[in-house]
Amino acid sequence: MQIYDIPENVDQFFENGITSYSIIDADEVGDNLFSMDLFLDAVGFKEENIKLHDGTMVIVTNGVQTFRINAGGLGDFYSHGYDVTEYTEV
């Protein structure tokens, strides 16, 4: 079973703003570090979009908006969840 409840691309990610996403794919087994990289690759983030990659937490920007993505599991090693929140530097 494969369910990719994610934006189609980086532009759509920023248009969607604060939300949650998930990937359920029995072929994509790994921990939350693996999960984050899976999400970033699937959406198509480039190095220029990533301000900070700290394992399961990533700060991304498009030059106008900045969001924090937190990766977490959904109960097994092939169900991955992602929470997107607004990020403001302190």
- How confident is the model over 28-73, as pLDDT tens digits? 999 999 999 999 999 999 999 999 999 999 999 999 999 999 999 8
Range of the domain at 32: 2-86
**Which pLDDT value is given to residue 59?**
98
Q: At residue 75, what is the residue type?
A: G
pTM: 0.93
3-state SS string for the chain:
CEEEECCCCHHHHHHHCCEEEEEEECCCCCCHHHHHHHHHHHHCCCHHHEEEEECCEEEEECCCCEEEEEEEECCCCCEEEEEEEECCCC
Per-residue pLDDT at 76 exceeds 90: no
Number of independent structural domains in the chain? 1
